[in-house]
């Protein structure tokens, strides 16, 4: 595909005049590339001058440059690629979302739905519905939800007040249309029925260091959910490298009974991964506050 991209650029796009305007399909933060600009438009001439991939180089050099450090493809990509080949209905993004009672949400969960809690990791950690998976709405929500929720699985949303429609629309953009409803006022629900509530352990990096030195649980497994390009800069000694998009398919490579500590770069993806492991029956799971950045800072 990198070779096809090289030919598309050099035999098609770069034959256009410099003042030809360019409108990108994706912006910064997309998993579809690296070093992506946040600009919403450009020109062929500006791209000639500023785009690292358009510097003079051979096809082989181009392939090496653009494939180095690419993120792992999100789990949902193959599903989305196939879905794009088929006719499907349009989402009415103004249609109301069904508000579910706690019992309705629990019944949907028991029938196979995933409860997707889109609040910030710190709010999720302080209290959430047992078995929920946390993907914060203020991050790369749809992409990471597509990494930890199987395509076609029904979804019950938990969000901050007034944000359930936003969450549904963003999920629909990756083809995840099976939102059965949302659970409103999660704080009130958990206060009224504390037996439904769980908390998430979040571990300071210094405490992880103590655990690994022997001052903690007898058996500790550490899981690094960053991309390979990130782990090249360093890892926690003994950690298992399982990029987030591979975690669902890699559960059987991990010990469900060991105390499990998950980390990423800063703490967003690790909250996602830790919540997934808890929902899949792992006995004791925590994630590292501040991620690898906090761990590396211990050595400075």
| pLDDT, position 164 | 96
| pLDDT, position 268 | 94
* Residue 48: φ, ψ to 5°: -55, -40
| pLDDT, position 233 | 86
DSSP 99: B
**Average pLDDT value over all residues in the chain:** 93
| pLDDT, position 93 | 86
Please count the residues of the chain: 300
Closest listed residue to residue 27, CA positions, set 125, 143, 127: 143
| pLDDT, position 275 | 98
Distance CA 271, CA 269 (A): 5
pLDDT tens digits, 48-91: 999 999 999 999 999 999 888 777 888 998 998 899 899 988 88
Q: Is the pLDDT of residue 32 over 70?
A: no
Q: Which CATH architecture has domain 201-297?
A: 3-Layer(aba) Sandwich (3.40)
Distance CA 143, CA 124 (A): 19
Residues 6+ apart with CB under 8 A from 278: 131, 198, 200, 285
Taking each helix axis from N to C end, the angle separating 2-11 and 59-67, rounded to the nearest 10 degrees, works out to 120
pLDDT tens digits, 103-129: 999 999 999 999 999 999 999 999 999
Q: Is the pLDDT of residue 34 over 90?
A: no
Q: Are 223 and 254 in contact (CB under 8 A)?
A: yes
| pLDDT, position 29 | 60
Q: Is the pLDDT of residue 173 over 80?
A: yes
Q: Is the pLDDT of residue 26 over 80?
A: no
Q: Is the pLDDT of residue 177 over 80?
A: yes
Q: Where in the chain is the domain with CATH 3.40.250.10?
A: 77-198, 201-297
Q: Is the pLDDT of residue 139 over 90?
A: no
- Name the band, by pLDDT with cuts 50, 70 and 90, for residue 40: confident
What does the pLDDT average to over 37-55? 91
CATH of 77-198, one of 3.90.190.10, 3.90.380.10, 3.40.50.2300, 3.40.250.10: 3.40.250.10
| pLDDT, position 27 | 62
Q: Is the pLDDT of residue 152 over 80?
A: yes
Q: What share of the chain has pLDDT > 70, as a percent?
A: 97
Tokens of 39: 């600009």
Q: Is the pLDDT of residue 196 over 70?
A: yes
| pLDDT, position 229 | 86
Q: Is the pLDDT of residue 149 over 70?
A: yes
Closest listed residue to residue 224, CA positions, set 273, 289, 279, 294: 273
DSSP 65: H
What does the pLDDT average to over 26-46? 77
| pLDDT, position 297 | 94
| pLDDT, position 105 | 97
Q: Is the pLDDT of residue 7 over 90?
A: yes
pLDDT tens digits, 230-268: 998 899 999 999 999 999 999 999 999 999 999 999 999
DSSP 135: -
* Residue 128: φ, ψ to 5°: -155, 165
Among positive and negative, which fits the CA dihedral 292, 293, 296, 298?
A: negative
Q: Is the pLDDT of residue 38 over 90?
A: no
């Amino acid at each position: 595909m990198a070779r096809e991209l090289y030919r598309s650029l050099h035999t098609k796009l770069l034959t256009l005049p410099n003042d030809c305007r360019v409108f990108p399909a994706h912006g910064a933060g997309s998993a579809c590339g690296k070093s992506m600009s946040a600009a919403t438009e450009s020109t062929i001439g500006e791209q000639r001058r500023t785009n690292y991939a358009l510097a003079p180089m051979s096809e082989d050099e181009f392939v090496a440059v653009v494939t180095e450090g690419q993120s792992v493809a999100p789990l949902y990509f193959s599903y989305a690629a196939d879905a794009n080949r088929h006719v499907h209905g349009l989402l009415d993004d103004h249609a109301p979302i069904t508000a579910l009672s706690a019992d309705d949400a629990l019944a949907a969960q028991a029938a196979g739905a995933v409860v997707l809690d889109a609040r910030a990791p710190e709010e999720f950690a302080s209290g959430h519905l047992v078995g929920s998976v946390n993907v914060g709405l203020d991050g790369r929500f749809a992409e990471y939800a597509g990494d930890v929720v199987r395509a076609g699985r029904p979804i019950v949303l938990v969000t901050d007040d007034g944000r359930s429609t936003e969450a549904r629309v963003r999920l629909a953009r990756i083809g995840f249309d099976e939102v059965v409803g949302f659970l409103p006022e999660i704080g009130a629900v958990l206060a009224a029925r504390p037996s439904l509530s769980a908390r998430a352990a979040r571990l300071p990096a210094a405490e992880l260091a103590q655990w690994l030195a022997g001052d903690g649980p007898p058996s500790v497994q550490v899981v690094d959910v960053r991309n390979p390009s990130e782990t090249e800069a360093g890892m926690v000694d003994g950690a298992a490298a399982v990029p987030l998009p591979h975690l669902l398919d890699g559960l059987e490579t991990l010990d469900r009974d060991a105390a499990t500590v998950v980390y990423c770069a800063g703490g967003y993806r690790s909250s996602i991964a830790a919540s997934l492991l808890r929902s899949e029956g792992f006995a004791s799971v925590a994630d590292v506050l501040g991620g690898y950045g906090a761990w590396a800072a211990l050595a400075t």
